Amino acid sequence: ATPTALLVGTGRGAQMGILIKGPEVLESTRRVDTVVLDKTGTVTTGAMSLTGVHTADGADEEAQTTALRLAGALERASEHPIAAAIVAGAVDRAGELPEVSDFTNHEGLGVQGVVDGHAVLVGRPRLLEQWSMPLTGALAEAVETETAQGRTAVAVAWDGEPRAVLVVADTIKPTSAEAIAEFRRLGLVPVLLTGDNHAVAGSVAAEVGIDPEVVVADVMPEEKLAVIERLQAGGKVVAMVGDGVNDAAALAKADLGLAMGTGTDVAIEASDITLVRGDLRAAADAVRLSRRTLGTIK
Ligand code: ADP
Ligand code: MG
């Protein structure tokens, strides 16, 4: 294509809310055959809400409030969509939250810190396992029943013991299913990639029309990168769409990285294209635009 055509193409993209970093990006966009989608914040709104609290000793309201207070205080220091849901729920039920010291973020796993003199850990059950605190009994059961229903279970431990399971639920963006149907029409294979558990990933995939064979769940941020590399080694030309800090490496490694404009700055910087409105349909629009601009529309 001529430089003028490329300029017109990127200009047209900008009008559609598709910010393209440079003229060469249109060529990689045209060649893509596989679209890897992050789940939380990309296919789903990421606007989660707290839907339940389970404690080790049944429905003890005081224990629930304590768990919320400690977890909420810690999550105030995190940018994760799950953290926002827990903070909102905690403020609602426990009021003002205490200060945190010695805060550590374990990307893709959870958070750790000291609250009210307690050493607190909040995150995936796997995070607690790493600290030799596997969930047992009522808490393990709570994780199983909640995740089977497509909700995300967040474990809470303090002073060396697992004490609660908080439950958060997300909503699928109303435009995601349509975007995925559009990818297929363009001949692209959609893949779902998430750090969330298999049950949640499977229920989201089913709802938006992604085949269960191409759902990759329960991965760590560095494994997201490995999934991209594996697809590329298999000869695929891979686009990755994501929004989080945990997606940045995969976005940079993909043949084409697309960040949700509603996502983190780190994801936007790592990407070739920003989808300003955070609407997945714009990713399909970008592919169509590149094919049209480069004169290869079928
Ligand atoms: P995704 O790939 O869906 O965007 P992440 O890789 O960011 O998810 O996180 C993977 C999982 O780690 C989450 O589903 C959640 O269970 C857990 N997690 C990550 N950060 C936090 C946090 N701040 N608080 C609680 N849980 C967290
Ligand atoms: Mg995400």
Closest residue by Cα to residue 240 from 181, 289, 194: 194
Residues with CB under 6 A from ligand 1: 38-40, 75, 78, 80, 82-83, 108-111, 122-124, 152, 154, 194-196, 221, 244, 246
Beta strand 110-115 with 118-123 is antiparallel
User: What local confidence, expressed as pLDDT, does residue 105 receive?
Assistant: 96
CATH topology match: 3-45+172-293 vs 49-169: no
pLDDT at position 298, please?
44
Give yes or no for residue 295 having a pLDDT over 90.
Answer: no
- Reply yes or no on whether the pLDDT at 175 is more than 70: yes
DSSP 8-state code for residue 152: E
**Which residues, chain by chain, have CB under 5 Å from ion ligand 2?**
38, 40-41, 243-244
- Atom of ligand 1 minimally distant from the CA of 243: 4
Top-level CATH class of 49-169? alpha beta
Average pLDDT score over residue span 148-162: 93
Per-residue pLDDT tens digits for 54-72: 998 777 889 999 999 999 9
pLDDT given at position 1? 75
CB 154 within 8 A of CB 47: no
Task: State how far the Cα of 65 lies from the Cα of 279, in Å rounded to an integer.
Answer: 37
For the CA of 221, the nearest atom of ligand 1: 6
> Using DSSP, how many helices (H) and how many strands (E) does the chain show?
12, 13
In 164-270, alpha helices (H): 176-185, 198-208, 221-233, 248-253, 265-270
Q: Average pLDDT over the chain, rounded to whole? A: 94
Q: Select which of 38, 170, 196, 243 is catalytic.
A: 38
Active site residue 60: no
pLDDT tens profile 200-226? 899 899 999 999 999 999 999 889 999
Q: Could you give the percent of the chain with pLDDT greater than 90?
A: 86
Residue 22 burial (CB < 10 Å; 0-12/13-18/19+)? Answer: exposed
Q: Where are the domains of the chain?
A: 3-45+172-293, 49-169
Give me the pLDDT at residue 238, please: 98
ipTM of the complex: 0.91
Candidate of 122, 124, 227, 247 to mutate for ligand 1, largest count of ligand atoms within 8 Å of Cβ:
124
Return the residue whose CA atom lies nearest to atom 16 of ligand 1: 124
Which residue(s) pair with 238 in the sheet? 34
The model's confidence at residue 134, banded by pLDDT at 50, 70 and 90, is: very high
- 122/87 Cα distance (integer angstroms): 12
Q: Name the token pair of 103.
A: 């805060």
Average pLDDT over residues 131-149: 94
| CATH superfamily of this structure's domain 3-45+172-293 | HAD superfamily/HAD-like (3.40.50.1000)
Q: What is the C-alpha to C-alpha distance for residues 231 and 221, in angstroms, rounded to an integer? A: 16
